């Protein structure tokens, strides 16, 4: 009678444990990639809005009043029949997660745009954003579990070319 080789229980458990560790590592990297992708979309959205605001300013010598119609059209003051600057002003890619914020100066000659980011490794600090109170910037930066961000980060900001982010509106 020949003896067949079989795996022992310990060997099977070791293989399963190794596969579990590898799966956990891959899942973590995948979730980080999703966050970075959504953050890239947010940054691109703000750049699109910035281009539309600059076209608006060229025609009207003033930036549009706040609030911007996120999810709607950005049109000429005389109406959408005259000119449409942005067909659909983008809103956050995750519905209900956060919103974009637009602040314009009282004279209409400067603005700032804000967005909350999920990956707080690549953001401007609050100390450089005069119009952005800690953790809010006028908007709530919500985490995936529904709580608000309590760390020093999560805001991305753009401003008009005649204004630095460290200047107040």
Consecutive H or E run containing 43: helix 9-60
Q: Are strands 101-104 and 79-86 parallel, antiparallel or unpaired?
A: unpaired
Q: Please count the CA atoms within 13 angstroms of the CA of 163 that sit on its side-chain side.
A: 23
Evaluate whether residue 98 is within a structural domain: yes
Evaluate whether residue 4 is within a structural domain: no
Evaluate whether residue 151 is within a structural domain: yes
The Cβ of residue 77 has, within 10 Å, a number of other Cβ atoms equal to: 12
The Cβ of residue 132 has, within 10 Å, a number of other Cβ atoms equal to: 22
Question: What's the predicted TM-score (pTM) here?
Answer: 0.72
Q: In this structure, are residues 82 and 75 in contact, taking their beta carbons and an 8 Å threshold?
A: yes
Evaluate whether residue 94 is within a structural domain: yes
Q: In this structure, are residues 100 and 45 in contact, taking their beta carbons and an 8 Å threshold?
A: yes
Alpha carbons 61 and 14: distance in angstroms, whole number = 69
Evaluate whether residue 58 is within a structural domain: yes
Residue with tokens 């956990």, as numbered in its chain: 24
Evaluate whether residue 120 is within a structural domain: yes
Evaluate whether residue 14 is within a structural domain: no
Read off the pLDDT band of 5 (50, 70, 90).
confident
Evaluate whether residue 165 is within a structural domain: no
Tens of pLDDT, residues 81-103: 999 999 999 988 887 666 788 98
Q: Which of 139, 52, 55 is nearest to 90 (CA)?
A: 52
More confident: 137 or 51: 51
Q: In this structure, are residues 148 and 97 in contact, taking their beta carbons and an 8 Å threshold?
A: no
Mean pLDDT throughout 17-30? Answer: 84
Number of domains in the chain: 1
Alpha carbons 119 and 156: distance in angstroms, whole number = 11
Domain hosting residue 86, numbered range: 39-159
Cis peptide before 67 (omega within 30 of 0): yes
User: Is the predicted pLDDT of residue 51 greater than 90, yes or no?
Assistant: yes
Q: In this structure, are residues 88 and 80 in contact, taking their beta carbons and an 8 Å threshold?
A: no
User: What sign does the CA torsion over 159, 46, 41, 126 have?
Assistant: positive
């Amino acid at each position: 009678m020949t003896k067949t080789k079989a795996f022992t229980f310990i060997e099977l458990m070791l293989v399963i444990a190794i596969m579990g560790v590898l799966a956990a590592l891959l899942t973590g990297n995948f979730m980080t990639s999703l966050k970075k992708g959504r953050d890239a979309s947010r940054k691109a959205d703000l750049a699109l809005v910035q281009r539309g605001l600059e076209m608006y300013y060229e025609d009207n010598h003033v930036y549009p009043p706040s609030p911007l119609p996120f999810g709607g059209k950005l049109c000429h003051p005389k109406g959408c029949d005259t000119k449409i600057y942005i067909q659909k002003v983008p809103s956050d890619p995750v519905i209900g997660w956060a919103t974009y914020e637009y602040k314009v100066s009282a004279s209409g000659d400067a603005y700032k745009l804000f967005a909350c980011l999920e990956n707080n490794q690549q953001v401007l600090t609050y100390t450089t954003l005069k119009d952005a109170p800690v953790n809010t910037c006028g908007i709530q930066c919500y985490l995936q579990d529904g709580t608000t961000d309590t760390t020093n980060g999560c805001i991305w900001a753009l401003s008009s070319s005649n204004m630095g982010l460290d200047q107040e509106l």
